Structure formats: C-alpha cells, structure tokens
C-alpha cells in the first residue's frame, strides 16, 4: 500500500537544512536522490518558512554547494502569502512588516503596500524591524484589521546562534493588543501547501513532504493530508517518533535511502 502511494508522487516538497544540506554542505544521499527522481521524471521544490529572503538567495546557496537550481525551485512562505493575498484580498491596501526583499516580492505580484489607511496587515520575518513599525502594526491590529502572518517560527537558526523570528513579533503584538494572527500561511499550517499545489497545478495526492522535523515538516504534511517522509539526517532521532503526535508515513535514514526505495519501484515494475 505504501509502495503504491510512493509510486504516485509526482513532486517532492523538500525541507532544506537537516534534510538536503547541513550548514554549507550537501548531506549524504542528496545528489543520489535528485538523480533518481530526475530519471523517473518526478519533480521537486524546496520549501522554506523564511520570508526574509526570496527564492533566489536559497537557489544561489544550494547551487554553490554543487547542485545548480533555478529560483523557481524554491517556494517561500513569503511567496505563498503573496499568492494567498492576491486571491483572497484583491485590491486591498497592505501594511507589511517585512524586509525590503519581501516588499519587492509583494510589489512584483501586484500587491499595494501602504503606510497609512491600510485595509489589512501582514507580518513577515523582518530583520529590519523598528519600534516605529511595531507601533504602527499594533495600532492597526488593535483597530481590528485582518491580520496575516507568513509563518509562526519563534527563532531562525544561523551559524552564529538564533535570531528572534516572526513568532517573537507575534508574541509582542499579542501582549499589546490581545490578538493572534487571523491566518498563518507557513508550515505547519497547510496554506503553504495549498498555494504551491495551485502554482504547480498538481493535486495534493501527488505531493509528498520530506523533512527532518516532526512538529513542522511532518505536521505540515498531515495538515495538508499528503504523504510524509521523515529523514533522520537532521534534528529528529528515531526514538523521538513514538512520542510525537505527528507520525510520518515513511522513515528513512537520509535522502539516499529514499532514493533506494524509489529505485526499487523500478525493479518491481
């Protein structure tokens, strides 16, 4: 049954750090996985919650490690949010708390960004955050405007430690206004998958999520009701799985082992 479900996958959604690479090096089996799905004419997209950068930045990083990809192979929570807003809130004036890169991305999608007289507010991971931005944001949220967040992460891991992420901004806003976001787009919330499925024109049952974290990657797959694959090359250890409410459909040591299982389908065909 599970082999049949693996065989039906047309596109794999890949977490990055801990799944495809670690730091600045590709993980064991990453290139083998890409070779096998390429041979089988399956597709892939890298999925990230980080809305402070555009897909280009991640494409450049992965390409520098030895696997050249184009920016359209990376789907960020920022892009997902822009697509969601374009469809669900057309012609609305948006107050955005985000980086210049996110602002540029929103404008390229045709969204209208304003400082005054906004119709709704959007919060992203903003490394250019100022108190003035927070003040204006809280005023709008307190006034009852629709309130959207690109993702819920509290911290963003870096080589030098952790940076406070959007979850910390959300906590600040709640302490001041009493409100949580009306909608969160990024993982583990399914909206990021729905937006990607619409972009790719691929039914959900033909998608699979691969990642190293139970509470984000696997939780996301379960929320979207798609196939989930946990790899043990990053954060999660095998003994962590039994106690988690988020149970993957498959568990593999790394992407190389996923590739071996996919290659076995060719043998059995």
Domain of 32: which CATH number? 3.40.50.1000
Taking CA atoms, 142 is separated from 85, 88, 178, 258, in Å, by 21, 22, 8, 48
Choosing from 128, 156, 184, the residue where a domain stops is 184
Q: Find the length of the chain.
A: 269
> Does the residue 68 lie in any domain?
no
Q: Are residues 178 and 192 in the same domain?
A: no
Q: What is the DSSP string of 228-258?
A: EEEETTSS--HHHHTT-S---SEEESSHHHH
> Does the residue 58 lie in any domain?
no
Q: Are residues 25 and 41 in the same domain?
A: yes
Choosing from 141, 158, 184, the residue where a domain stops is 184
> Does the residue 169 lie in any domain?
yes
Q: Are residues 207 and 164 in the same domain?
A: no
Q: Are residues 179 and 87 in the same domain?
A: yes
Q: Are residues 155 and 226 in the same domain?
A: no
The predicted pLDDT at position 161 comes to 78
pTM exceeding the 0.85 threshold for the entire prediction: yes
Q: Are residues 156 and 205 in the same domain?
A: no
> Does the residue 70 lie in any domain?
no
Residue range(s) defining the domain that contains residue 90: 83-184
Q: Are residues 108 and 132 in the same domain?
A: yes
Q: Are residues 179 and 218 in the same domain?
A: no
Write out the E strands in the chain: 11-14, 21-22, 25-26, 43-48, 74-76, 93-97, 112-113, 120-123, 147-149, 155-158, 161-164, 183-184, 207-211, 227-231, 250-252
> Does the residue 57 lie in any domain?
no
> Does the residue 62 lie in any domain?
no
Choosing from 158, 184, 210, the residue where a domain stops is 184
Q: Are residues 100 and 177 in the same domain?
A: yes
> Does the residue 59 lie in any domain?
no
C-alpha 157: how far from chain center: 15
The predicted pLDDT at position 185 comes to 98
Per-residue pLDDT of the chain (269 residues; tens, 9 = 90+): 455 589 999 999 999 989 999 888 999 999 999 999 999 999 999 999 999 999 999 999 999 999 999 999 999 999 999 999 999 999 999 999 999 999 999 999 999 999 999 999 999 999 999 999 999 999 999 999 999 999 999 988 776 778 899 999 999 999 999 999 999 999 999 999 999 999 999 999 999 999 999 999 999 999 999 999 999 999 899 999 999 999 999 999 999 999 999 999 877 75
> How many domains is the chain partitioned into structurally?
2
The predicted pLDDT at position 1 comes to 44
d(CA 47, CA 131): 30
Q: Are residues 88 and 120 in the same domain?
A: yes
Q: Are residues 18 and 98 in the same domain?
A: no
Q: Are residues 208 and 259 in the same domain?
A: yes
> Does the residue 55 lie in any domain?
no
d(CA 32, CA 155): 31
């Amino acid at each position: 049954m599970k082999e049949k479900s693996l065989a039906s996958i047309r596109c794999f959604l890949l977490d990055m750090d801990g799944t495809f690479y670690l730091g600045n090096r590709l993980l064991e089996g990453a290139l083998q996985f890409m070779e096998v799905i390429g041979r089988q004419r399956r597709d892939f997209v890298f999925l990230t919650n980080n809305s402070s950068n555009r897909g280009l930045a991640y494409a450049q990083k992965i390409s520098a490690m030895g696997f050249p990809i184009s920016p359209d192979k990376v789907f960020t929570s920022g892009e997902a949010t822009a697509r969601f807003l374009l469809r669900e809130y057309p012609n609305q004036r948006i107050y955005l708390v985000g980086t210049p890169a996110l602002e540029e991305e929103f404008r390229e999608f045709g969204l209208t960004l304003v400082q005054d007289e906004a119709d709704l507010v959007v919060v992203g991971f903003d490394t250019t955050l100022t108190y003035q931005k927070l003040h204006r944001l809280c005023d709008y949220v307190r006034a009852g405007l629709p309130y959207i967040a690109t993702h819920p992460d509290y911290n963003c891991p870096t080589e030098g430690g952790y940076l406070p992420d959007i979850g910390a901004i959300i906590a600040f806003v709640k302490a001041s206004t009493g409100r949580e976001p009306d909608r969160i787009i990024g993982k583990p919330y399914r909206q990021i998958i729905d937006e990607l499925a619409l972009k790719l024109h691929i039914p959900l049952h033909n998608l699979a999520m691969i990642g190293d974290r139970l509470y984000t990657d696997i939780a996301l797959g379960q929320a979207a009701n798609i196939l989930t694959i946990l790899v043990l090359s990053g954060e999660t250890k095998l003994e962590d799985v039994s106690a988690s409410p988020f149970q993957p459909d498959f568990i593999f040591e790394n992407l190389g082992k996923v590739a071996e299982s996919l290659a076995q389908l060719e043998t059995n065909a």
